[in-house]
Amino acid sequence: MQLVVNSLIYKLSTDIAKIVSEIKESVVTIITEVPHVLSLFGYKELTGVGSGFIIEPGLIITNAHVVRGAARVIILYHDGVSEEAEVIALDPYRDLALLRIDRNIKAASLGDSDSINVGEIVLAIGSPLGLPGPSVTLGVVSAVGRTIIGENVILEDLIQTDAAINPGNSGGPLVNAEGKVVGITTAIIPYAQGIGFAIPINSAKRFIEMLKLFGRPVRAWIGVYVAPVTPQVAYAIGSTVSEGVMVVRVVPGSPAHRVKIREGDVIVKANERRVRSVKDLRLAIEESIDKGYVELEIYRGRSLMRLKVPIVVEEL
């Protein structure tokens, strides 16, 4: 029995080492120089550190908060070579940024974040604490579809993992057991133990798709932040609806606010299609840009409402 266990552990270890070996060339350290104003002595440059990875030839994806406000962005590759990158797109609402580089480095293999399951083994790869990367931590997918509310941002549809994510890991890939990127690590809750989050890779794919479609980063929104409804959530809030997305915040003055959508409302359909996740609602809104509004079916308690909600499209 012990021999079998040792054999399984050895195989797992060698498989993980192989995955890291194959993806490490695509993972980069990002060093930023951000001007900081001093009240009496002008300003000085503050240095920040994050992670990123090659998503397409010549393009690096990372978190928006890693490069926001940077005067210079330096990319450090796994072999010690460095170059300056250009920030070509930044979406603070998805916490994603796209950088252009000159060096020809192979792109990471991308997976399908819609197919991940709770309990899957994942690796968080990046440059924690500003140390040269890549560094690797191992964990599992703890939950999917999470919404977290920070001081200045609300992020939806996140992957939760117990893989250790430290300062400097932000923007690095979350990789599954097949060696495919399923997420982009983005946050760690300072008051919790062993909880980290990642943006689903399909959100990054959609970000790039929208950029190619409109030629610039845009945000299509109606002014709500939502979280998935599960039978457990439905029971907790006393709802008769066990599938959909629940409105957790309505932005004052937004289209949703003007049509009187409220916190606690459950959106069950958008444009006659069922809404089971944050992604479903976002996709319906983005597909309705040309029409100018999205049709929603919403439960408030036991009452069903049908609303046409105008869409606001903002250039970021």
The backbone region for 5, taken as left when phi is positive above 0, alpha when psi lies in -120 to 50, beta otherwise, is alpha
CATH numeric code, 113-207: 2.40.10.10
CA torsion sign, 270 to 273 to 276 to 282? negative
Q: Distance (Å, rounded) from C-alpha 307 to C-alpha 293? A: 10
Q: Distance (Å, rounded) from C-alpha 223 to C-alpha 227? A: 14
pTM: 0.83
Q: Give the SS3 label for residue 13.
A: helix
At the topology level, CATH places domain 2-100 in Thrombin, subunit H (2.40.10)
Q: Distance (Å, rounded) from C-alpha 113 to C-alpha 184? A: 11
Find, among 49, 54, 83, the residue nearest to 66 by Cα: 49
Going by pLDDT thresholds of 50, 70 and 90, the confidence category of residue 38 is low
- pLDDT tens digit sequence for 51-95: 999 999 999 999 999 998 899 999 999 888 999 999 999 998 889
- Give the residue numbers marked as catalytic: 65, 95, 170
Q: Where in the chain is the domain with CATH 2.40.10.10?
A: 2-100, 113-207
Q: Distance (Å, rounded) from C-alpha 193 to C-alpha 172? A: 20
The segment with the largest mean pLDDT, out of 43-47, 214-218, 307-311, is 307-311
CATH for 217-315, options being 3.30.565.10, 3.30.70.1350, 1.10.1740.110, 2.30.42.10: 2.30.42.10
At a CB cut-off of 8 Å and minimum separation 6, what does 186 contact? Answer: 63, 65, 95, 155, 158, 170, 171, 197, 198, 199
Q: Where in the chain is the domain with CATH 2.30.42.10?
A: 217-315
Going by pLDDT thresholds of 50, 70 and 90, the confidence category of residue 6 is low
